[in-house]
A and B are shown apart, each in its own frame.
Chain A
Amino acid sequence: MLWSDLERLGRFWDPWNEFERMQRSLSRWVSPSSAEFPAVNVWVSGDAAVVTTETPGVDPKSIDISVVGKTLTIRGSRNPEDHREGDSYHRRERWSGQFTKTVEMPFSIETNKVEAKFSRGVLHINAPRAEAEKPKKIAVKSD
Chain B
Amino acid sequence: MADTVKEIQKKETETPGKGELTRARKIYSPAVDIIERKDDIVVIADMPGVDDTSVDITLEKNVLTIYGKVEADIPEKHTLYLSEYGIGDYQRVFTLTDEVDREKIQATVKNGVVKILLPKAEVVKTRKISVKAEA
Chain A: residues with CB nearer than 8 A to chain B? 30-31, 33-45, 48-50, 52, 54-60, 81, 83-84, 86-100, 103, 106, 118, 120-122, 124
Contacts and interface: CB of A to CB of B under 8 A. Distances in A.
A54 B36 contact: no
Nearest to B9: A39
Contacts of B37: 84, 86-87
Contacts of B47: 56, 121
Interface residues on B, range: 35 or more
A112 to B, nearest CB: 21
Given A92-B33, A120-B51, A40 B111 contact: no
Contacts of B9: 39
17 contacts: A30-B82, A40-B82, A41-B82, A42-B82, A43-B78, A43-B80, A43-B81, A56-B48, A57-B110, A57-B112, A86-B37, A89-B35, A89-B36, A97-B2, A97-B3, A122-B48, A122-B112
Interface string B104-121: 000000111100000000
A89 B34 contact: yes
B4 A95 contact: yes
A41 B38 CA distance: 41
Contacts, number: 140
Interface of B: 1-4, 6-10, 31-38, 41-42, 44, 46-51, 73-75, 77-85, 110-113
Main secondary structure of the interface of B (DSSP, over half): loop
A25 B114 CA distance: 41
A121 B32 contact: no
Contacts of A43: 74-75, 78-81
A37 B8 CA distance: 6
A30 B110 CA distance: 35
Which of B1, B9, B37 is the most central at the interface, judged by chain A CB atoms within 10 Å of its CB?
Answer: B1
B7 A95 contact: yes
Contacts of A98: 1-2
B67 to A, nearest CB: 15
A103 to B, nearest CB: 7
Contacts of A41: 80, 82-85
Given A56-B113, A81-B42, 9 more contacts: A42-B81, A42-B82, A56-B47, A56-B48, A88-B36, A89-B36, A91-B33, A98-B1, A120-B50
Contacts of B111: 56-60, 118, 120-121
Nearest to B50: A120
Contacts of A55: 48
A87 B34 CA distance: 10
